[in-house]
Amino acid sequence: ESRRGGCTHLGMNALERTLIEKAGYDNGFENVLGDAPADAVRMASARHRAQVEVRLERDTYHLRILATLAGFADELARSFPAARQADGRFIVQGEAALAALLRRAAALALALPHQALHTYEAAMDAALAALPAAARGTEVERL
């Protein structure tokens, strides 16, 4: 049942886990989340909203996006078209490719517009437009 380096299907060994965590830390995912299954590392950042989960299977890294912005996976796939799978995962070979994928994911998470903010601003604009003319330019509009 063992894979390379003593890693079994029940989880990865400490070195493999540490290498994934280091790749995340060095490339924009400095927080390791503790709720990951034994065979995965979940990472996030205080600087952006993206969260990812990385699994290692026979020297191949499987990255799954857990939380992010609308359109994020499609934008990431533009940079890594061969890595995207039908189920939404991204698969890359080797630590350097994982680092590049994580770096691009972090950069996109910082650069893409925040959908919740846009939704809120649109709702506020609609609410202000619905105010009667007499209420415009008053405290009601400023609040």
pLDDT in tens, 52-86: 999 999 889 999 998 767 788 888 999 999 999 98
Whether residue 114 is predicted with pLDDT greater than 60 in this model: the reply is: yes
Contact 115, 89 (CB under 8 A): no
pLDDT, average across residues 1-14: 54
pLDDT, average across residues 22-35: 94
Please state, in angstroms and as integers, the Cα–Cα distance from residue 70 to each residue in 12, 41, 50, 65, 114, following that order: 31, 23, 11, 12, 8
The reported pLDDT for the residue numbered 142 is 60
pLDDT, average across residues 105-122: 75
Average pLDDT, the chain: 83
pLDDT band for 100, please (50, 70, 90 cuts). very high
Segments making up each domain of the chain, as ranges: 4-112, 114-143
Whether residue 8 is predicted with pLDDT greater than 60 in this model: the reply is: no
How many Cα atoms within 13 Å fall on the side-chain side of residue 102? Answer: 31
